[in-house]
Amino acid sequence: MTKQNPLLAEWNTPFEVPPFDLITNEHYREAFKVALDESDDEIKRIANNSIEPTFVNTIAAMESAGEVLSKVSGVFFNLSGSHTNDEMQTIQRELAPMLSAHHSKIMLNAKLFARVEVLYLSRDELDLNAEAKRVLERYHSNFVRSGAKLEGGQRERMAEVSSELATLGTQFSQNILADESAYELVLEKGDDLAGLPDFLISAAAAAAKERGHEGKYVITLSRSLIEPFLQFSSRRDLRERAYNAWIARGENEGDTDNREIIAKTLKLREERANLLGFKTFADFKLDDQMAKTPDAVRDLLMKVWKPAKKRAGMEAKKLQELANSQGDNFKISPWDWRYYSEKVRSTEHDLDESEIKPYLQLDKIIEAAFDTANRLFGLTFEERYDIPTYHEDVRTFEVKNSEGDHVAIFIGDYFARTSKRSGAWMSGFRSQEKLKGEITPIIVNVMNFAKAPQGEASLLTFDDAHTLFHEFGHALHGMLSNVTYPSISGTSVARDFVELPSQLYEHWLEEKEILSKYAVHYKTGEVMPDELIEKLKAASAFNQGFATVEYASSALVDLELHTMPAKDAQDIGQVEKDILEKIGMPEEINMRHRTPHFAHVFSGDGYSAGYYSYMWSEVMDADAFEAFKETGDAFDRETAERLLTNIYSAGGSRDPAELYVEFRGKMPEIDALLEGRGLKNVA
């Protein structure tokens, strides 16, 4: 079978894109077995090398090892998030402990670490360039943080903990997907649709058709459907039903309940941190990030939390007054906020989403993101139809630089479906590197936008458009990477630095030059009027108390869960409630991500004790865009060149603070963030 397995064969596709059209579920188990065996052999050869360790025969050799495993993993784990099925989920559960054991076998290999240690201790005498030295230092840190210096039973226990955590994280994410896929609010014609604009009715009809409810309308738990439903539906009873299902993901009794998984995860993470000499998991996790300590994170979040909570209280008062004036004599609840907020926005700013959305066609906003990249970095994007894809909705583009040279392949997967987990993300099927030649990246953006019926334009909310620009900023970070070593390529940077390129890129969406060109009415073809653009900008700080409280409460709960003793966090529902009560969470608002479906934090280690990083990066991105504004040109060429050199192409080649200072000349203050969110003068 090996000869017939497309995952193990040469990929004779354009740009060696995975041959998605040939890959089936039956290929994965064998491919992983072959890849793991090959990787094991490569690591053994490096560790058992009788020649004295050098950077080339140890660090560079490890960078080159595991090529087949990287290829197979890239395909499997991208598809397990964006286009999964029952068999793939079974394989994923099998793989979690196997891959964890493989990683532990490498990181706890005493001979291998001894070679790394020798090089690390003599790093200043090795005549390494800055990038190679950085890679060596990262390898040493990763080994130590994985337990390489532990002895005897502690080493074995570290491997067991890592394996258990991998299994729990996989189950956590699959449980959320199961809850999201199972839920549907089926609407009939008539009163069920009261208040809903045409674009939402159209999208709900398409979702109903996909789920076998022809002639009806379905609201799923995709943000692109549920949020506008909560925004426009005048049926309070239906809003409450949909909202409660949304916030209960991962907390329903039965096989998909995540609460026990969270308790076990917190206990294991604490044990892992203790084994490595840290008091809490947050202390361990933050030790090699920009923030460094839980206190630094808490200080940032509380500086934002206090004015945000006050601002949210002012917003809630307005909503309550509006509801009362309309004879709705009930206290505003979380499922009411978006509904009345939309009415207040319409009144105060003469602006509502149904007026904006017809101008935000998905295809045009994709073009806008591409054009922005062209004006900043000289990139062009040509759609290719000769490259295999894994779903009929997926689009593929060849990316070239201003000289016409190939830079990357960009894959866009934009629409929600039951085989895709919720949210939006960037990932890669292949990373850029130069160690094994000029290897160009294959980068993917995955979204969950509501798909319009065939023949109609898929429309976005302004938040959706921001999400597209955000994820494309991540994609550019991957595509523009220009480093030698794969381990520091693209987005392989500190977690609280990785959101800078993505959040910064969002600023260009709101530039008049972009909106006036690409915000085109889907029926009339007319561009968005200047008056509407100005109203959008004037309303940019609207509802920011709510948005900031939603986000910051999630970040604070994440931080507290990972600083408190795990034994005190076993009843996760009560603990979440206690933390929110302690910080004074407004009862009209819920966390953006409640703990039982907080995939950022519990589907893996990525943002654990690290959800704050969006705000840490926002301090930088608000300041970074000021660099362009100070020139009077949002596309200033010299500033864009510094941005490319020090941020988008640098990967993890240098310390993130050093990179930022090279770009901006100084580290930022929080003032620009507070001003951007309209919180600066809220006492």
Owner of token pair 């040509």 = 382
**What is the CA 66 to chain-centroid distance, rounded?**
25
Q: 123: which residues sit within 8 A by CB, 6+ positions away?
A: 133, 136, 137
CA distance 229 to 223: 9
CA distance 341 to 314: 12
| Amino acid at position 484, single letter | T
The structure tokens listed for 390 are 């894994």
Q: 451: which residues sit within 8 A by CB, 6+ positions away?
A: 203, 206, 393, 415, 416, 458
**What is the CA 112 to chain-centroid distance, rounded?**
33
CA distance 91 to 24: 12
Assign 624 to helix, strand or coil.
helix
The structure tokens listed for 98 are 């196997």
The structure tokens listed for 533 are 């653009």
| Amino acid at position 515, single letter | L
The structure tokens listed for 613 are 């990083």
CB 297 within 8 A of CB 552: no
Beta bridge partners of 382: 398
Per DSSP, 528 falls in state: P
- Among residues 63, 471, 511, 576, the one annotated as catalytic is 471
Strands 442-449 and 406-415: parallel
Closest among 588, 608, 65 to 332, alpha carbons compared: 588
End-to-end CA distance of the chain: 69
Q: 29: which residues sit within 8 A by CB, 6+ positions away?
A: 91, 94
| Residue 151 exposed, middle or buried by CB count within 10 Å (0-12, 13-18, 19+) | exposed
Owner of token pair 């016409």 = 404
The structure tokens listed for 100 are 């964890």
Tell me whether residue 260 is one of the annotated catalytic residues.
no
Owner of token pair 């869960």 = 561
Which string of DSSP letters, residue by residue, matches 423-439? S-EEEEEE--BSTTS-B
CA distance 594 to 252: 13
CA distance 363 to 414: 10
Helices 656-664 and 495-506 sit at what angle, rounded to 10 degrees?
Answer: 30
Helices 572-583 and 259-275 sit at what angle, rounded to 10 degrees?
Answer: 80
Torsion angle, alpha carbons of 314, 317, 319, 325, to 10: -140
| Amino acid at position 41, single letter | D
CA distance 368 to 370: 5
Per DSSP, 595 falls in state: G
CA distance 487 to 425: 20
The residues annotated as belonging to the active site are 471
